A and B are shown apart, each in its own frame.
Chain A
Amino acid sequence: DAMVIQNPRYQVTQFGKPVTLSCSQTLNHNVMYWYQQKSSQAPKLLFHYYDKDFNNEADTPDNFQSRRPNTSFCFLDIRSPGLGDAAMYLCATSRASGGTIYNEQFFGPGTRLTVL
């Protein structure tokens, strides 16, 4: 089945120790998103890729970086995690083409990050 896969599902890191979360998709979608979701809050968009074009949200801290080496994979790098970065990180994909730029987003299961 076509899907969005996130690894790992649970990640524990130490304060200040870099961590990388990964997302892969078999949907061949050209748009990929990273969201941060804290407990009982709505997901917050960190950035997204439209094909290879990277779009950073204005309020995303510099501590958060992303890479998209190919259509299928996207990575979220947290350079120096703080206690406030503990959250669920959700990857999503959608297909945008031509004049249709609104599309259903397909979400992965998320990676729950704990910072000790």
Chain B
Amino acid sequence: KNEVEQSPQNLTAQEGEFITINCSYSVGISALHWLQQHPGGGIVSLFMLSSGKKKHGRLIATINIQEKHSSLHITASHPRDSAVYICAVSPYNTDKLIFGTGTRLQVFP
């Protein structure tokens, strides 16, 4: 079993829909990261969370440390949001990341 699990693996949506991607992890962490990767492209860091909730534009990330769970929400989705969204965690006392397998999102006009 992976230490970081994401769901769903694939997600399709119509433009304007509200989207939720979930991440569960099984290790103690210092922080959780949400990353975005467009097809054939590099990785962009969206959020780093250690508690609570963060918002940036149409993106919202939440984390529940007790339940070892995080969600990434996209409001009013747009075709340019189509990408792979990766959840990654920083375990205690390490500067490495453990990556989830990603969620492939496609938003259609």
Q: Which residues of A contact B (CB under 8 A)?
A: 6, 31, 41-43, 45, 48, 50, 90, 92, 94, 96, 101-110, 112
List, in ascending order, chain A residues with CB within 8 A of B31's CB: 102
Bound Cα distance from A112 to B40, whole angstroms: 8
Contact indicator A102/B86 (Cβ below 8 Å): no
Chain A hits for B44, CB < 8 A: 107
Chain B, residues 70-93, CB within 8 Å of chain A (1/0): the string is 000000000000000010001001
In whole angstroms, how far apart are the Cα atoms of A31 and B86 in the complex? 21
A90 and B42 contact, CB distance less than 8 A? yes
B101–A42 contact, CB under 8 A? Answer: yes
Question: Quick one: closest A residue to B87, CB to CB?
Answer: A42
* Interchain CB contact under 8 A, A109 and B95: no
Contact of A101 among B41, B94, B100 (CB under 8 A): B94
